[in-house]
């Protein structure tokens, strides 16, 4: 079986370091003759992890090659030959090779001390597409779609998907997932936006709309930790979580509690311990554009219809004051804090347009909120990756003892597993020397 990653190794390497044998170092030897586990020989890349599958939870070190993945995760058993079975994995590999160049540029430019990184429209679109695929290819969607029988599909869009399968002659939900992944990877995002109509025609419409919303209703910003002691952790589902309201309903016949609606103010994509891409909903204020009455009104209407009308007028984002702005571009300028098109600009988008992304430094308050969001959603996962041993103790302790207005609320059908997870975190931080008790 082939181990296939849902978080690419080029991202995991940013959290890794070459393993050193402590016994060889103590003896001052250059070569090591000790016995080591597979993938954990001196020089192999390893990552520090919190293993949530052990009891109690434990800090471990694992090979980059064997985390955040599963055997044959994207293999298509319906195909006859090995090459046909691996076609999705091969497509991922090809796309990752292109995307990794851009992500390495973002990381390296930051490491070199620059405050801005520049991307063309084509490059930005590739990153936006890749960020959605990090979400859509993950373990949660594998669980959603990887079924041999249509009747085994049980997500809340069940009837819509089964109807789509009948109309388009798909045999299994897995076939729909692979088709959607393939369609998105092959998608050419033209500057005029014609790709949106094509996408709706060529894949499961609900998920096509989700991709369009992900790329068109959020703007992209890059954040970095302002404090050296801070870092962004990596969880199995960190590319799937959002910051924003959600509601739950109980089925009066079965008693089952399920999510009924949700809306994201912010989405997240950690790319290194010190760098994270944040997608911010366009309905939130943008002072550089809101001087235009029609723009401000449209934003206010979107905020009302998508958030306040459903969840209440007083609902606010935990990260509303996050110090980020839209990137600058080559066809507009800032005058007295207001964005204006350059003289002579014809309003057309071009593949060669350039976008200048600032590395926005954010303080511990915001880093903690983001990490807490990740930890809040990690209770049904198996691993948390991090870079620094001292940092993870503080990160876990902060989550464990922080007020619980927005986090650590136990309820619903998964209350037992959520409570066990919270107690597991508490036990781990106490084993690391913390005196603080769980607040939940």
Task: Convert the pLDDT of each residue in 136-160 to its tens digit.
Answer: 999 999 999 999 999 999 999 999 9
Residue 66: which pLDDT band, with cuts at 50, 70 and 90? very high
- pLDDT higher than 90, residue 309: no
d(CA 437, CA 440): 10
Residue 413: which pLDDT band, with cuts at 50, 70 and 90? confident
What pLDDT is recorded for position 23? 66
Residue 51: which pLDDT band, with cuts at 50, 70 and 90? very high
What pLDDT is recorded for position 34? 72
Mean pLDDT calculated for residue range 283-290? 93
Q: Would you say the C-alpha torsion 54, 60, 65, 67 has a positive or negative sign?
A: positive
d(CA 85, CA 65): 21
Is the Cβ–Cβ distance between 219 and 281 less than 8 Å? no
Residue 247: which pLDDT band, with cuts at 50, 70 and 90? low
- pLDDT higher than 70, residue 29: no
Residue 28: which pLDDT band, with cuts at 50, 70 and 90? low
Half-sphere exposure of 247 (CA within 13 A, CB side): 9
What pLDDT is recorded for position 18? 95
Q: What is the mean pLDDT of the chain?
A: 92
Half-sphere exposure of 412 (CA within 13 A, CB side): 13
Mean pLDDT calculated for residue range 221-238? 97
What pLDDT is recorded for position 261? 59
Residue with tokens 């370091």: 17
Choose the weakest-confidence range: 231-245, 302-316, 340-354. 302-316
- pLDDT higher than 60, residue 294: yes
Mean pLDDT calculated for residue range 220-224? 99
Phi, psi (deg, nearest 5) at residue 317: -70, 140
- pLDDT higher than 80, residue 391: yes
What pLDDT is recorded for position 252? 54
For the chain, what percent of residues have pLDDT higher than 70?
94
- pLDDT higher than 60, residue 374: yes
What pLDDT is recorded for position 262? 76
Kind plus residue range of the DSSP H or E element containing 393: helix 389-401
Tokens for 21, please give them.
Answer: 């044998």
Residue 289: which pLDDT band, with cuts at 50, 70 and 90? very high
**Integer angstrom CA distances of residue 123 from 50, 98, 327, 352:** 34, 9, 14, 9
d(CA 157, CA 169): 18
Q: How many residues does the chain have?
A: 440
What pLDDT is recorded for position 388? 95
Residue-wise pLDDT for 169-182, tens only, equals: 999 999 999 999 99
Strand spans (E) along 43-131: 45-51, 58-63, 69-71, 116-120
Mean pLDDT calculated for residue range 378-403? 95
Residue 78: which pLDDT band, with cuts at 50, 70 and 90? confident
Tokens for 345, please give them.
Answer: 């600009």
């Amino acid at each position: 079986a082939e181990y296939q990653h849902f978080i690419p190794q080029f991202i995991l390497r940013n959290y890794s370091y070459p393993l050193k044998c402590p016994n060889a170092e103590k003896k001052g030897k250059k070569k090591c003759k000790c016995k080591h586990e597979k993938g954990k020989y001196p020089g192999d890349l390893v990552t520090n992890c919190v293993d949530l599958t052990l009891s109690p939870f434990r800090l471990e070190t694992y090979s980059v090659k064997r985390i955040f993945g599963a055997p044959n995760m994207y293999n298509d058993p319906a195909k006859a030959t090995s090459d046909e079975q691996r076609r999705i994995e091969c497509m991922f590999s090809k796309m990752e090779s292109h995307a990794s160049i851009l992500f390495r540029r973002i990381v390296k430019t930051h490491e070199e001390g620059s405050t801005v990184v520049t991307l063309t429209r084509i490059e930005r679109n590739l990153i936006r597409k890749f960020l959605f695929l990090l979400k859509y290819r993950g373990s949660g969607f594998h669980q959603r779609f990887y079924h041999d029988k249509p009747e085994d599909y049980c997500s809340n869009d069940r009837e819509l998907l089964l109807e789509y399968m009948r109309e388009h002659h798909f045999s299994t939900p897995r076939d729909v997932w692979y088709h959607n992944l393939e369609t998105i990877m092959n998608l050419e995002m033209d500057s005029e936006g014609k790709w949106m109509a094509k996408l709706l025609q060529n894949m499961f419409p609900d998920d096509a709309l989700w991709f369009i919303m992900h790329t068109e209703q959020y703007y992209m910003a890059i954040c970095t930790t302002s404090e050296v002691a801070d870092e962004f952790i990596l969880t199995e589902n960190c590319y799937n979580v959002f910051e924003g309201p959600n509601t739950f309903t109980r089925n009066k016949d079965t008693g089952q509690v399920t999510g009924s609606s949700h809306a994201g103010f912010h989405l997240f994509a950690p790319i290194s311990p010190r760098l994270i891409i944040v997608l911010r909903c366009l309905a939130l204020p943008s002072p550089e554009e809101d001087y235009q009455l029609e723009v401000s009104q449209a934003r206010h209407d979107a905020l009302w219809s998508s958030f306040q009308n459903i969840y209440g007028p007083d609902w606010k984002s935990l990260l509303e004051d996050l110090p980020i702005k839209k990137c600058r571009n080559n066809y507009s300028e800032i005058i007295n804090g207001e964005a204006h098109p350059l003289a002579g600009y014809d309003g057309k988008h071009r593949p060669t347009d350039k976008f200048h992304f600032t590395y926005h430094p954010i303080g511990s308050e915001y880093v903690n909120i983001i990490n807490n969001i990740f930890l809040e959603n990690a209770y049904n996962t198996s691993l948390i990756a991090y870079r620094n041993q001292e940092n993870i103790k503080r990160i876990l302790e902060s989550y464990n003892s922080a007020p619980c207005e927005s986090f650590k609320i136990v309820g619903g059908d998964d209350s037992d597993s959520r409570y066990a997870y919270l107690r597991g975190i508490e036990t781990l931080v106490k084993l690391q020397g913390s005196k603080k008790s769980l607040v939940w």
